[in-house]
Amino acid sequence: MTPIDVNGRRWTAVARQVNPDERAAKRREILDATLGLMEAKGYERMTIDDVLEKTRMSKGALYHYFSSKQALLEGIVEEMGEGGARQLQAVVDDADLGALDKLHAYFQAEETWKAENVTVVSTLMRLLRDENNALLRHKVTRDAMRTTTPMLEQIIRQGCGEGVFDTDYPHEAAVIITGMGIHLADAFVDAIEADGGVGADLGGPRIQAVLAAYLQAFERILGAPTGSLSLK
């Protein structure tokens, strides 16, 4: 509490206590509104004023939660990423699946997540190609390494125990494979565009070839049977 002089009298300013649940709910409300605008107008055409109008907030109140348009996108990516990570972790923790089946289920869960969040995924893929978005790229890379590497390592260690993988370095293999996926993002976008697709469309022949090459490299890093990770 800080004493303040007002007209010669001393008052004590008391900081307003913010309820964490209320703050989280308001944050989700802002992100939901932003996502709706992205789907309706596109990220590039959407403005902060659009968000203010939809949420009926003042600019100062909004900036208490998100300091910029890019911060709104990062918030959406972070929240969706956390939801996606929970789905993937459920696959990783499934005691009824062997390591190879887990990897296939893992890839399927990733593809489903991208299809369900195609607006955000396609927007992010475009923005990450822009050299002016180096900080955004760094954040996405850091978050992917933090969440994906431990899950892949868990599956790899299981596979080594089952004898379907042959690597002495499960952790390092998980780091390399995660990094490969991150740095192939540009190749994925180029292939999708060459196929005439949009967003995260993985149905074209060129993107299928890139994915097949990635999975073949994945197999060789792990010492997995040839074709065991191929797309089904």
Q: What is the DSSP letter of 106?
A: H
SS (HEC) of 141-187: HHHHHHHHHHHHHHHHHHHHHHCCCCCCCHHHHHHHHHHHHHHCHHH
Q: Per-residue pLDDT for 52 more than 90?
A: yes
Q: Find the helix or strand (DSSP H, E) in which 6 lies.
A: strand 2-6
Mean pLDDT of 111-124: 79
Mean pLDDT of 43-63: 91
Q: What pLDDT is recorded for position 137?
A: 78
Q: What pLDDT is recorded for position 200?
A: 61
Q: Which residues contact 1 (CB under 8 A, 6 or more apart)?
A: 12, 13, 14, 15
Tokens representing residue 119 in the block: 């607006």
23: three-class secondary structure by DSSP: helix
Q: What pLDDT is recorded for position 219?
A: 93
pTM, rounded to two decimals? 0.77
Angle between helices 205-222 and 170-183 (to 10 degrees): 160
pLDDT band at 198 (very low <50, low <70, confident <90, very high): low
Q: Which of 193, 200, 93 is nearest to 151 (CA)?
A: 93
Domain boundaries, the chain: 14-67, 69-222
- Per CATH, the number for 14-67 is 1.10.10.60
Average pLDDT, the chain: 84
| pLDDT tens digits, one per residue of 137-181 | 788 888 888 999 999 999 999 999 999 999 999 999 999 999 888
- Per CATH, the number for 69-222 is 1.10.357
pLDDT band at 121 (very low <50, low <70, confident <90, very high): confident
